[in-house]
Structure 1
Amino acid sequence: MKILYFAWLRERLNRNEEDVAPPAEVTTVGDLIDWLAESDEAATLAFEKRHLIRAAVDGRLANHQTSIAGAATVALFPPMTGG
């Protein structure tokens, strides 16, 4: 699965994307964020306010309860504003 990072997540993690293979117990966007947050100190800090992070699974907006089963790409980004 490819994880894409945008805006301040990309800056804090110092990477645009990464390929990961989450364990079987990681089944939702929220689980994925929690799992990623445990991976290193930068991720722990970047995902500190998990409730603010938005996601898209295979190009479709998703909430933290959305399944990631079979997903090829998960994009993670901060809240957006229009204008």
Structure 2
Amino acid sequence: MRLAYFAWVREHMGVAEEDAAPPAEVATVADLIGWLAARDERGGQAFAEPDRIRAAIDGMMAVPGTKIAGAGEVALFPPVTGG
């Protein structure tokens, strides 16, 4: 699956996107964030506060318990504000 990173998540990860093949036990958005946080120092910094991370799967907003099986793209980003 393609992982896309935005804003300070992208800055910490050092890339805007990457292809990844999480292990089978990574089944949900929350699992994915935990896996990325544990994978290396960059992920540890980017996902140090997992409750602040928002996700979209194939362009649709997702909650932490959303299954990622079959996803083409998972976008991960901080909360968005605007006016």
Q: TM-score, normalised by structure 1?
A: 0.97
Gaps of 5+ in 2: none
In structure 2, what residue type is equivalent to 1:34? G
**1:19 alignment counterpart:** 19
Which SS does the other structure have where 1:38 is aligned? Answer: helix
- Alpha-carbon displacement from aligned partner over 1:58-81 (angstroms, at most 9, x marks no partner): 100001100101001000000001
Secondary structure of residue in 2 paired with 1:18: strand
Correspondence list, 1:21-60, <5 A: 21-60=21-60
Give per-residue Cα distances to partners, 1:27-67, cap 9 Å, x unaligned.
Answer: 00000000011111111011000000000001000011001
Q: Flag structure 1 segments of 5+ consecutive residues without an equivalent.
A: none
TM-score for both structures, normalised by structure 2: 0.97
Is 2:78 the partner of 1:82?
no
| Number of positions where the alignment pairs a residue of Structure 1 with one of Structure 2 | 83
**Percent identical residues:** 59
Q: Give, in angstroms, the shift of residue 12 of structure 1.
A: 1.1
The structure 1 segments of at least 4 consecutive aligned residues displaced by more than 6 Å after TM superposition are none
